[in-house]
């Protein structure tokens, strides 16, 4: 806990949404209203860290000293502060990033030690939605993002759940529903039939030869997509029993898809669970593309013990 005189201005928070394709950096005193923001393509680690540091030095010159840093990174990453390699990116196909000690290198580039909170990008987005978005005030939240991959985060009474590492909800195993459509697409190199392999954006594109946004709303692609995603929602319901399932990411935005998922989940649930009405149980996030950076700013605030 950092103590400040009551009359002082609120602390300046710094945050990074460290994606595999782009980095977003921001500073704020109120996480929901960034004062300054920048985004650039993710390069090699050294170059990327140098750009981050340059932005924060510039932001600091304008808005004063930075008090803490929140990071939501692409994974896998070592989130456990007790681990010797805490703050490191683990084995990743992303060139140059495997075992890169991101937190240590950022502190070095910023020229000082400061309180840091380190999470996955998906967990950061889940936290952003929980504090300022569609999951505000909800006790138990399962957040899924369906886009280039499928990821997920779980919040219990406002706290992110980590498990031994972090949830990999995209790799829940699902039955093969492709066969009924004369298809057999899956894009995960590790599993025969997982959610990400069957229902991510690249799976849709490979299966139907067109990206999701090019497929009309009445295309059979969406019936199949809804069936896979409803299975993911059903498995999360069985394993975790949330109050709310939030479906983020580009694919979820497809017009009519969420209604199809709700109908299919209702059918699959078979009356076994006492679930809220589907329109309240399965929802779209409300912060859109800002969820990750807002969540990373929330992490920075929490790193101060606030």
Dist. CA 187–CA 205, nearest whole Å = 10
Stretch that binds Zn ion, among 14-22, 53-61, 102-110, 164-172 (CB under 5 A): 164-172
Collect all residues with Cβ–Cβ distance below 8 Å to 277 and sequence separation of at least 6: none
Residue among 174 and 245 whose Cβ is closer to Zn ion: 174
Tokens found for residue 59: 């932001």
Among 126, 188, 203, 269, binds Zn ion (CB under 5 A): 188
Smallest gap from residue 168 Cβ to Zn ion (A): 8
Stretch that binds Zn ion, among 60-68, 75-83, 187-195, 277-285 (CB under 5 A): 187-195
Find the largest Cα–Cα distance for the chain.
Answer: 67
- Binding residues with Zn ion: total (CB under 5 A): 6
Smallest gap from residue 276 Cβ to Zn ion (A): 29
How far is C-alpha 214 from the chain's CA centre? 25
Residue among 197 and 242 whose Cβ is closer to Zn ion: 197
Residue among 106 and 188 whose Cβ is closer to Zn ion: 188
Stretch that binds Zn ion, among 60-68, 109-117, 184-192, 238-246 (CB under 5 A): 184-192
Positions 97 through 156 that interact with Zn ion (CB under 5 A):
none
Residue among 107 and 191 whose Cβ is closer to Zn ion: 191
Dist. CA 63–CA 8, nearest whole Å = 14
The owner of tokens 């800002």 is 290
Dist. CA 109–CA 162, nearest whole Å = 28
Smallest gap from residue 71 Cβ to Zn ion (A): 25
Residue among 194 and 221 whose Cβ is closer to Zn ion: 194
Residue among 151 and 212 whose Cβ is closer to Zn ion: 151
Q: Bridge-partner residues for 156, per DSSP? A: 140, 159
User: Do the beta carbons of residue 72 and residue 298 sit within 8 Å?
Assistant: no
Total Cβ atoms within 10 A of residue 161: 15
Stretch that binds Zn ion, among 43-51, 64-72, 101-109, 163-171 (CB under 5 A): 163-171
Residue among 11 and 197 whose Cβ is closer to Zn ion: 197
Among 107, 162, 183, 191, binds Zn ion (CB under 5 A): 191
Stretch that binds Zn ion, among 14-22, 51-59, 104-112, 170-178 (CB under 5 A): 170-178
Dist. CA 58–CA 287, nearest whole Å = 27
Smallest gap from residue 232 Cβ to Zn ion (A): 12
x/- track of binding to Zn ion for residues 66-95 (CB under 5 A): ------------------------------
Tokens found for residue 86: 């805490």
Nearest to 74 by CA among 14, 142, 125: 125
Q: What does each C-alpha distance from 30 to 76, 187, 202, 302 come to in angstroms? A: 29, 40, 36, 12
Among 125, 169, 194, 287, binds Zn ion (CB under 5 A): 194
User: Do the beta carbons of residue 214 and residue 250 sit within 8 Å?
Assistant: no
Stretch that binds Zn ion, among 3-11, 196-204, 261-269, 282-290 (CB under 5 A): 196-204
Half-sphere exposure of 159 (CA within 13 A, CB side): 5
Task: Tell which phi-psi region holds residue 57, choosing left (phi > 0), alpha (psi between -120 and 50) or beta.
Answer: alpha
Among 171, 223, 268, 304, binds Zn ion (CB under 5 A): 171
Chain residues binding Zn ion by CB under 5 A are 171, 188, 190-191, 194, 197
């Amino acid at each position: 806990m950092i103590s400040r005189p009551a009359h002082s201005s609120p602390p300046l928070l710094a945050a990074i949404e460290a994606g595999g394709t782009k980095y977003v950096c921001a500073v704020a005193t109120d996480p929901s209203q960034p004062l300054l923001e920048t985004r650039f393509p993710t390069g090699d680690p050294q170059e990327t860290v140098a750009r981050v540091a340059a932005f924060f030095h510039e932001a600091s010159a304008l808005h004063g000293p930075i008090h803490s840093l929140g990071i939501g990174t692409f994974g896998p990453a070592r989130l456990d502060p007790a681990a010797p390699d805490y703050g490191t990116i683990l084995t990743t196909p992303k060139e140059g990033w495997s075992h890169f000690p991101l937190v240590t290198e950022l502190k070095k580039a910023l020229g000082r030690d400061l309180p840091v909170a380190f999470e996955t990008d998906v967990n950061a987005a889940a936290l952003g939605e929980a504090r300022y978005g569609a999951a505000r005030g909800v006790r138990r939240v399962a957040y899924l993002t369906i886009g280039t991959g499928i990821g997920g985060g779980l919040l219990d009474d406002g706290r992110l759940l980590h498990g031994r590492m972090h949830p990999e909800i995209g790799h829940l195993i699902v039955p093969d529903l492709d066969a009924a459509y004369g298809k057999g697409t899956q894009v995960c190199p590790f599993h025969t039939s997982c959610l990400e392999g069957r229902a991510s954006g690249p799976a849709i594109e490979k299966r139907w030869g067109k990206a999701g946004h090019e497929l009309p709303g009445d295309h059979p692609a969406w019936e199949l997509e809804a069936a896979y995603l409803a299975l993911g929602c059903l498995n999360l319901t069985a394993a975790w029993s949330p109050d709310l399932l939030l479906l983020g990411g580009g694919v979820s935005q497809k017009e009519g898809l969420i209604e199809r998922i709700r109908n299919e989940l209702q059918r699959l649930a078979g009356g076994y669970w006492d679930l809220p009405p589907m329109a309240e149980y399965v929802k779209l996030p409300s912060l859109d593309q800002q969820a990750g950076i807002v969540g990373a700013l929330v992490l920075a605030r929490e790193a101060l013990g606030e």
